[in-house]
Amino acid sequence: MTLLQIAELGGLGAAAGIVGAVFGIGGGVFVVPALTLGFGLPMSSAVAASLVAVAASSSAAGAVRAETGLADMRLGLSLEVATVFGTVIAASAAAFIPAAALRTIFSLALVPVSFALARKALVSSDDGETGETPAKPKNMPAALAVSAVAGGLSGLLGIGGGVLKVPMMRLVCGVPAKVAVATSNFMIGVTASAGALVYFARGALPGRESAVLALGVMAGALAGMRLLVLSKSRTLELAFSAALLAIAVKMIL
């Protein structure tokens, strides 16, 4: 790798880390196409490197997450059982499933989720504070099912699963916006680590690219978590809704 490639990979990681930490999505949805189109990595290698980056993002955000106390650790651990199961199964079956068809179905499913989040943000009150109190989660059976699907998408596409976990915790479990994002930041690290181990065992993990990307992501995630603490809940939720639409369009194209 040249110095320019190292700088570009580090910059990509930093940008993905900021966006991923603020929205609780890990940033893999931006990293995978950048690695395949911009750096010429095969899809499987790009997904593997993205999963390492997502795990690094979650680890870096952990210090800020512990300091603020926003994450609902009990909820996150409960949902991760289903998520990791879905990740391991999907990562093992990735070679046999057409990724293009899956991306199309997934992106179309994001559109109604985006509008549902925007509606919830507009009709609910905005606390305007830096912190929120975790609410008692509702509808756990449905939440576990969605978590398994999110884990499967993570293993297949290297996206961390946060694009489904955050709206699921808001719309299904009824937890506050910042709590959903912070809890997702914790969960995606466990999910991504499980998927990355499967790709490593298959010999599909690009070591140098993953290391440089992870360093950039860690720096960006630290900054992103600070932004999350300072943001307003309604603004955060509307921005997340717009991000889901953008992700859907990008994945279709």
Residue-wise pLDDT tens for the chain (253 aa)? 788 889 999 999 898 888 878 887 767 777 887 888 888 888 788 888 988 888 888 877 766 665 667 778 888 888 888 888 888 887 777 667 676 776 777 677 778 778 877 887 777 655 444 445 555 778 888 889 988 888 887 777 766 677 788 888 888 888 888 888 888 888 888 878 888 888 888 888 888 889 999 899 888 888 888 887 777 878 887 888 888 788 778 777 7
Q: Domain tally for the chain? A: 1
User: How many H-runs (helices) and E-runs (strands) does the chain carry?
Assistant: 10, 0
Which residue is listed with tokens 């609910």? 124
Using CB atoms within 10 A of its CB, is residue 72 exposed (0-12), middle (13-18) or buried (19+)? buried
DSSP 38: I
**Model-wide pTM > 0.85:** no
Q: Which residues form the domain of 213?
A: 3-252
Task: Compute, in degrees rounded to 10, the torsion defined by CA atoms 108, 154, 221, 22.
Answer: 30
- Separation of alpha carbons 221 and 241, rounded Å: 20
